[in-house]
């Protein structure tokens, strides 16, 4: 088993590597959520809630 200081060093090295990668000019950032993304999530949640209610009330067997 690795000692705590070795694990801390591994975490620090990996964090440094990832930060350097993100700071590079050619790093491709993920696009932010748009209104349509939030609407789609809302519709999916609504459908799931309807299905749960139908299953609880015996509408779906």
Q: What is the pLDDT of residues 5-45, one digit of tens each?
A: 889 999 999 999 999 999 999 998 889 999 999 999 999 99
Phi, psi (degrees; rounded to nearest 5) at 27: -70, 130
Spatial distance between the Cα atoms of 19 and 29, rounded to a whole number of angstroms: 13
Number of compact structural domains in the chain: 1
Domain residues for the domain of 33 are 4-57
| Dihedral sign of CA atoms 18, 19, 23, 29 in order | positive
Spatial distance between the Cα atoms of 43 and 32, rounded to a whole number of angstroms: 19
Output the pTM of the full model.
Answer: 0.55
pLDDT at residue 4 above 80? no
Cβ contact 57:51 at 8 Å? no
Spatial distance between the Cα atoms of 48 and 50, rounded to a whole number of angstroms: 5
């Amino acid at each position: 088993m690795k000692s705590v200081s070795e694990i801390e060093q591994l975490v620090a090295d990996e964090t440094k590597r990832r930060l350097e990668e993100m700071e590079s000019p050619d790093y491709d950032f993920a696009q932010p959520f748009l209104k349509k993304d939030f609407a789609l999530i809302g519709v999916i949640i609504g459908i799931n809630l309807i299905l749960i209610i139908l299953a609880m009330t015996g509408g779906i067997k």
